[in-house]
Structure 1
């Protein structure tokens, strides 16, 4: 990374005291590794007539979580880039996501949501990718009445469409549904698969989550360190050993971070979320921690 430093900085560094070489120059280099939040939702709120929630919305947040608020929190917390994950209340209407990405400029990219079993939904995907900086399409499998069509051509068609467009597949699911995705992870081995929220380790029995741990053998999978549960809440289990094992199995180069932004977030709380995440990977070298908290995502999603 020192090759990217200017000749003047190299000369100054070379003439400086050893203490500066050990600290100051290292800090200069470290600043070049961006911080990236790969998982946040934005909402216009219940009272914005421009962006109504969909008739099929499973929930309807009243309080806005706007891109303007996001940018203020990012600036105050030292977060360079972020991925706005299109939330379910809007279903496959992406107008608010496009609005957010326009406000964020080069600092924001998006994950979209289309439904493989809904006529005409996936057909909208190519046009959205032409209009907006979309990096992934998300698939949900956590409610028995809203599962993707496992084993059918419709789900494969969504996966192939996203793959042909150069997008990642972003999976949000309960562990009991993991096996339904595995054939497509294998078939589309060149398509990146992002596993949200550590694969939801506490929303099933350990044997079910073990399926996800074994996905580390597929080199196109990436685990997301997000939605980190508190031990003070049900089921009151310590997530630290789970995180340590997932990082060990997938390797630090295939772990990305997301989380901390919400309607009531502040720059301080946003920064604290990153700090809390880093506390779970404190056993890793600094270079690995920086990669997980931003470097990996910057490469994966093309942030510059």
Structure 2
């Protein structure tokens, strides 16, 4: 399988009628019949070429899971990938089991998000990413510790270990602290500097965090934001 970093790894093709519609509207703004004919011919040729490209044989699109976790098996936990205290796994979630499930379901690759089972110890996920570079990419977990140690860890994980994104879990901030505190701002800015999207877990409802999210986005517009777990919301009564 080709690496995800290869341009050939995304062979999907789409033919959108919007391009044709836009070209048709543009015809009206040209005053001369000659210019209109030239644009019409150009637009028609482009549409035909796009249609031919769309109908030509091409490799099938990859099927990707955009968000999942892996954690150590009990044996792996004993051998060097311990669980975070109180977060011991009760279900199987090791990489071998994941690969079996992916093969059965016809899934080609996935984004692995650092699981709470290992908290800020990324060694297990890092080992999986290195073992299966054509199958997985990683999203690390931001460490909002007061001492700021998570900022250096974030840079290491993205630059050295090649993680592609970082998760902000608001519930991991110290009690009484918000994502907009000094450490949170530094983490958010560093992610933008390194080109890593920030996935914010709004699991308890986006309304609890929307002001913090808006403030971070306003002050650091170069950082891309993804809102995940938005389906975990309280339905209206």
| TM-score using structure 2 length | 0.66
CA distance in 2: counterparts of 1:148 and 1:109, whole angstroms: 30
- Rounded Cα–Cα distance in structure 2 between residues aligned with 1:118 and 1:68: 36
Residues 79, 136 of structure 1: alpha-carbon distance in 2 compared, 3 angstrom cutoff: same
SS in 1 for 2:70: coil
Separation in 1, partners of 2:105, 2:227? 25
Q: Does 1:192 pair with 2:224?
A: yes
Q: What SS does structure 1 have at the residue aligned with 2:229?
A: helix
Larger radius of gyration: 2
Equivalent residue for 1:152, pick from 181, 184, 187? 181
Instruction: Give structure 1 regions of 4+ aligned residues with deviation exceeding 6 angstroms.
Output: none
- Equivalent positions of 1:114-133 (< 5 A) are 114-119=142-147, 120-133=149-162
Residues 182 and 124 of structure 1: CA distance in aligned 2, closer, same or farther (over 3 Å): same
Task: Report the aligned-residue RMSD.
Answer: 3.0
Q: Decide whether aligned partners of structure 1 residues 148 and 140 sit closer, same or farther in structure 2, where only a CA change above 3 A counts.
A: farther
- TM-score norm. by structure 1 comes to 0.53
Distance 1:39 1:128, change over 3 A: same
- Residue matched to 1:39: 67
**Structure 2: stretches of 5+ with no match in the other structure:** 1-12, 15-50
Partner residue, 2:88 = 60
Mind listing any 5+ residue stretches in structure 1 that lack a counterpart? Answer: 3-20, 207-236, 238-304
> C-alpha distance in 1, partners of 2:169/2:105?
30
**How many residues in Structure 1 have an aligned counterpart in Structure 2?**
182
Q: Structure with the greater relative contact order (CA < 8 A, sep ≥ 6): 1 or 2? A: 1
